[in-house]
Chain A
Amino acid sequence: MNELLRLSALELGRKIQTGEVSAAEAARASLDKINGSELGAYITVSEDWAMTQAAAVQAKISEGALQSPLAGVPAAIKDNICTLDVKTTCASKILGDFHPPYNATAVDRMAQAGAVVLGKTNMDEFAMGSTSETSYYGPTRNPWNRGHVPGGSSGGSAAAVANGEAFYALGSDTGGSVRNPASFCGVTGMKPTYGTVSRYGLIAYASSLDQIGVLARTAEDCAGVLDTITGHDVRDSTSLNIPADGLLAGLTGDVRGLKIGLPAECFGDGLEKEVGDHVLAAAAVLKSLGAETETFSLPLTAYAVPAYYLIACAEASSNLSRFDGVKYGFRAEGCTDMADLHKKTRSQGFGREVQKRIMLGTFALSTGYYDAYYKKAQQARAAISGAYHAAFEKYDLIVCPVFPDTAPALGEALTDPLKTYLSDIYTVSVNLAGLPGISVPCGFDEKGLPIGTQIIGKALDDGRVLNAAHAYQQATDYHKAMPTEGGAQA
């Protein structure tokens, strides 16, 4: 592998600023890696656009007009985030060759900072899944073992970053869709506090839970990217109007005196021992660096998954009503009237999992069932949020697993859909409560598959979450491992 591809995004950015490497060289190296890859990490590779951006960005850097630490660094964007120059599919047949009439705000901000976008990454259709197998364009494979999934729904973004096919990537996280694939692929994945990154141009799954996040090699890279894309946006009324940057500058690597809580409920039944042991070992590293760790009880954990699926599916059933075969994308043939047009288009255009979630959400919102299901889930959400608020009165951070096991084999998750839903237990509450959470590589299991540790903070404490991850990465090397061509550890 081209040694350039082993650099972190910020390391590459520095070499580009000093003129040691050109933006075009970096883009070429990434594109060559993508073209030789069989992972299926990308739905669309935009080679011409990438080289055009690289030339334009290089000209500005050479003039001294662009000094962003990530200028010229090749990046990927999950295919549910709108890009004016490249088709955006949401990994669904129903969007077909949709070319959005605008960029997402996060994409505009990346462009202003001199990002070179390589293409759009694969994902579960409409971000509904945790394996990236429900994509209409076929599954992405795990770079550490081609017989396993990369996680999801931002599986293409995670696989691309792990395999040297992008230096960082945008993803989205509704119930774990950044953190889960980050853990399966051995990269760092940050879901920031709800409202910090504009959702304008992110194709909605569940609006009260969706948040754009970052997948990268290091916590430092995540901080650098978030400094670029965070900030108030008048086009997203849930976007917070608060000071937005300084995450990278705030990384001290000092965790002395931090109080870290380990929820007993996240280390019990259902957790693979190897995963639990690695996560506890990661907490012990933070302790050795001067943090205090303590096990505590985080109540209501068992209710997070049912509350999440009811709320997410209810919101999805409403959000996905916009796909009607009229304004964009796929339209079924031979329709006699409007109802027929809607039904045929949606039945032929949406995959099975998406149809199931729309139906589940429609059921939960329907007359006679609303109070017993949707309202009950919203009440559980309030209670779960409250439990986190109470925990953060005692602790600065919470450390727990990301997923009960390492990456399942391809096809395995599809055979038991309910079990797959249950496996989201450690990630969904962070979305229900709107908190920041990061997945940090913390080792490998016996099969050689990566394991991630999750660090969760209180709302708007993204800096502290990133700093703890950064401190851990200063003391360990797991985040530096990269898979070999055949899919094993190098």
Chain B
Amino acid sequence: MKITEEMVDYISELSRLELGSEDRARMAGELESVINYVELLNALDTAGIEPMSHVLQVKNVLRPDEVQPSLDRELLLKEAPERDAESFVVPKTVE
């Protein structure tokens, strides 16, 4: 499959990345080479095979519903690039 720079723009938008003009061309080439290679899987007949998302047959792991303390707020906030006394601070999101 051909990966165009327009596709790279679309995928980078979905990925919340922005590439410089030089990087766009290089990324298109590198992605195309990997994607063409993984298309090798098309030679494998997978009709009727259930997709496997996980190796363990563990489902709905439950625990007793007991109240336990959360991590300390200050401990969590202290790593933020920008914060106030009780929350993370981000650029304005609502006009």
A-side interface residues toward B, CB under 8 Å?
98-99, 101-102, 194-195, 208, 234, 237-238, 240, 300, 302-303, 306-307, 309-310, 317, 321, 324-331, 335-344, 346-347, 350, 355-356, 358-360, 362-363, 366, 373, 375-383, 385, 417-418, 421-422, 432-434, 459
Contacts and interface: CB of A to CB of B under 8 A. Distances in A.
A379 B88 contact: no
Contacts of B44: 300, 303, 376, 379-380, 383
25 contacts: A99-B79, A234-B63, A237-B58, A317-B15, A324-B16, A327-B80, A328-B79, A328-B81, A330-B81, A331-B81, A347-B18, A356-B27, A359-B11, A359-B15, A360-B35, A362-B14, A362-B15, A363-B35, A376-B41, A376-B46, A379-B44, A379-B50, A385-B52, A418-B33, A418-B37
Nearest to B46: A379
B64 to A, nearest CB: 10
A337 B91 contact: yes
A326 B90 contact: yes
A360 B31 contact: yes
Interface string B21-64: 00000010011011101111110101001111111101001010
Contacts of B61: 237
Contacts of A341: 90-91
Given A331-B82, A355-B27, A379-B49, 10 more contacts: A99-B78, A101-B72, A101-B75, A317-B15, A326-B88, A340-B91, A343-B17, A378-B53, A379-B50, A434-B56
Contacts of A363: 7, 11, 31, 35
Given A102-B71, A302-B40, A342 B16 contact: yes
A208 B27 contact: no
A234 B64 CA distance: 10
Nearest to B16: A342
Contacts of B63: 234
Contact of A303 (B18, B35, B40, B80): B40
A329 B79 contact: yes
A374 B27 CA distance: 20
B12 A359 contact: yes
Contact of A380 (B19, B27, B41, B92): B41
**4 tightest Cβ-Cβ pairs between the two chains A and B:** A434-B55, A378-B51, A331-B81, A379-B46
Contacts of A432: 55
A194 B79 contact: no
Of B18, B39, B81, the most chain A CB neighbours within 10 A belong to B81
A78 B50 CA distance: 35
Given A382-B51, A459-B55, A309 B40 contact: no
Contacts of B14: 362, 366
B46 A380 contact: yes
